Structure 1
């Protein structure tokens, strides 16, 4: 008897392995600090801040989260330095097995700006579907779904504007996922932008990946390509590197100093301007991130 089909990833997580490899753990835009704590009553707090190296502005937020795993309830409240209040309520397996309700809102008290997003996520073996209603923007309905079997994945997304009475955007994707590698092809922005990604766990200590993006509106000769790799030095440290066809080389180093304490350092170099004395320091970036968790 064959094993039951697994739940495929959601639409936003298609190609996640390659995206995480090429985007995470490169703190090159400034200095970031993140502190996480958790109480015995299942309430956790997170405070994070980033000092942007270009503008010298400091942006941050404080977040509180309550989790009741037995009832499938998660409530999150956040307040940012931009004076934005964010709330999120998640209810999983309350109405039906495999169904999750997600309600998100944000409020800008000073300017009166607000947003509300109500969503439903349905997960079953071989199917992962989501539906969202953006209450104040349109309103707009967004539906996406991913089906999968034996590693093969196919997904689609579409948005319908109630005010305009027409489909505002659509996209599609196909892929294949295995324990050692994954490939994904996206057709985005009404099938005007195509993105292909590849991820490969070469060995227990080495990962590699690449991503190419082609915008049909720009021209057939303009394809953005990025390749990267990750190497574990030991159980507590790893290094990452990536380079794109514009010649931007990024390096990242992450070290777990002790349980709950992690430090990351990043460097980005414009390899085409290394000897350009007029470029100045703005051609290159450096940054660091520190995480404390208890």
Structure 2
């Protein structure tokens, strides 16, 4: 008798270990600040501000999130500096075990109209993770994806259907293998016209490594774009990250927990092919930082 299979990751989380290693905690594109607080009755507030390195404009938002675990209900409301209101309501494990239904909407008060209205559904059980989404205002477009998993092997597919035009507007396939120490994922995207391969390896308790290769005829004029990176924990409160791509851009990141509830991150990106270039606009080299306060 075979053992019960774990729930596989969703389609969007295939290759997540490698993606997080190569993308997260590199704060060289902007300077940002986050402040998070939580009330005794479970309401979480978050205020975030972000200033891109190439702009003097600061974008921000205020978010309130309420979670009722007993009823399986989560409600999130956000107001941005672009005067856009966002609302998200989730109900999980109430209609059926393993089923989550979600409603997302954005509204522009200045224009008095809804910008987006999306209904999502996700169902996960042993060995299967399926999702479906209906974008009411765009198309409408119906998107569905499913990932099957068994003994570490993963196979998934995604397709989007334009209801108005009556045609499949996008489809993709993926396959991979996931183990506690390493993971390999292959994607065939954009109607099987572009391809991505990613690899993640936990070398030891303190060291992680990963790589990603992308072939897209529209974006990779020189062939395949390759990026490799690593993460090393200095101690329980600090880690450093480094990555480089085949275009010669080297990125470094450093994150330090200064005290409980206070975390600082710093990042720098250097174009190694333009080390002697003086560029006041910051196009060749970038520096940024991020601070998170949480109470």
What is aligned with 2:179?
Answer: 178
Pair 1:232 & 2:230 matched? no
Question: How far has the Cα of 1:115 moved from its partner?
Answer: 0.7
Question: How far has the Cα of 1:70 moved from its partner?
Answer: 1.1
Distance 1:40 1:278 in 2: 50
Relative to structure 1, is the Cα distance of residues 77 and 122 closer, same or farther in structure 2, using a 3 angstrom cutoff? same
Aligned residues: 294
What is aligned with 1:285?
Answer: 286
Gaps of 5+ in 2: none
Which digits, 9 at most, give the CA deviation of each residue in 1:4-36, with x for residues without a partner? 100000000000000000000000112100011
Contact 2:105/2:114, CA 8 A, preserved across alignment: no
Distance 1:278 1:71 in 2: 55
Distance 2:141 2:102 in 1: 16
Correspondence list, 1:125-274, <5 A: 125-217=126-218, 221-274=222-275
Relative to structure 1, is the Cα distance of residues 219 and 31 closer, same or farther in structure 2, using a 3 angstrom cutoff? closer
> SS of the counterpart of 1:105?
strand
Which digits, 9 at most, give the CA deviation of each residue in 1:137-174, with x for residues without a partner? 01010000000000000000000001111000000100
Pair 1:44 & 2:44 matched? yes
What is aligned with 2:11?
Answer: 11
RMSD: 1.4
Correspondence list, 1:72-151, <5 A: 72-111=72-111, 112-151=113-152
TM norm structure 2: 0.97
TM norm structure 1: 0.97
Distance 2:18 2:279 in 1: 35
Contact 1:192/1:217, CA 8 A, preserved across alignment: no
Contact 1:197/1:211, CA 8 A, preserved across alignment: yes
What is aligned with 1:59?
Answer: 59
